[in-house]
Structure 1
Amino acid sequence: MMHQLVQSAGPGREPAADMADLADVIRTLLAVEARRDTRVRLGGNLFDVVISSCGEQARAAVAQMDEQQNGCGPVIEDPDTGWLYWLVPPGTCGRWEPHGHAVCLGAPHTITLPSLTRSTPPGPYWLRPSASDRLLPPDPLWRALALFRPEPTPHAALAAQLGLPH
C-alpha cells in the first residue's frame, strides 16, 4: 500500500528542478567560507559583476560608494589584470546601460571569489569585504564610474578574453 502511495505521488516526490542549483550555491559558499578561492556562476540568485580598471579614478569611485553606502559593498581587486570586480544584484546585467568605463556581466559567465580572509595581494583580494546582506546598487555605481572615468577601460581586453568581436 505504501508503495502505491509513493507511486501515485507523481512529480511531487521528485526533487525540485532548482535543488541542484541550490546545492551548488551552498557548496560554493561553504568553500569560500572555508578560506578557499572558489569559482561561481554569475547571475542566478547570487550576483552579477561590473568590471572596471583599478586605478586612481576607480579608487575615487570606491570612496564615493563608501560615502553613499556608509561602507561600500563588495569589491574584488585583481592586481594581475588591473581590474575591479564590483558585485551587484543579480539581473543587473540585463538593465545595465552601456558604459564607456565599465562592463557588466551575468550568466553564463563565472568569477573566482577569493577566500573571505584575503584582503591583500598576491592575486585577487577583497578591496571591500563581502557582507551577506549588501551588494552595490547599480545606478549609483554607474554614475560614480561615469564621474571618475577609470582608465584603461576593460572592453577590448574582456572581448578578447571571452572570444567576442571588439
Structure 2
Amino acid sequence: MATAVDLPDFESPYTPVHPRFKQDIASRLILPALAVAYHKTGLDYEGPFPSSYTVDNAAETLTIEFNNGKTPIEVRNNHGYEVCCYGHKSCQSYDHWEEAPIVSHHTASVTLSTSGCGNSHPAGVRYLWYETPCPLRSCAVYGRDNDLPAPPFKKYDGF
C-alpha cells in the first residue's frame, strides 16, 4: 500500500478519481513491492508514522514522535491536525474536533497547540481526516529522506 493523500487532481480530464500523477503513485507503490515481495533490503518505503504522544496540559501542547525518533521528518506547513477535548461525549463524532496547529517541530517530532481545548485537555488527535486533506504535494509532514507523506491517522480515548 502507499498513500496518495497529497496528490489530488481536481482538474483531471478523467475526473478526480483518476489523477494524472500516476508516475508519483507508481513510484510510491514500487518501493514496498521491492521490499516486501522481492526482499530488497535498505529501502525506506514508508512515510513517517506516529509512535508516541506526550501531552503537556500546563503548556497546552501535544507532542507526537514519529517512528520512535528514528526517521527525520520535513514539516511543510502547520495544518492538518485536530484534537478532541475531554468533556465531550465522544471523539468519534466530527463535531467535537478542534484545530491543533503545529507550533514547533524537531528532527522526528511535531508539537501541536491544544489551546482549542480551553480548560480541558486533549482526549484524541487526528491527522488529515478529510476527503481532500491537502493541496498537491503540500501536506504537513513528510519523511525528510524519502519525500513520502505521513498517512492519515486517528487516536482517541486518551494518551
Structures share fold, TM-score greater than 0.5: no
Which structure dedicates a bigger proportion of its chain to strand?
2
TM-score (norm: length of structure 2):
0.28
Q: Which has the larger radius of gyration?
A: 1
TM-score by length of 1: 0.27
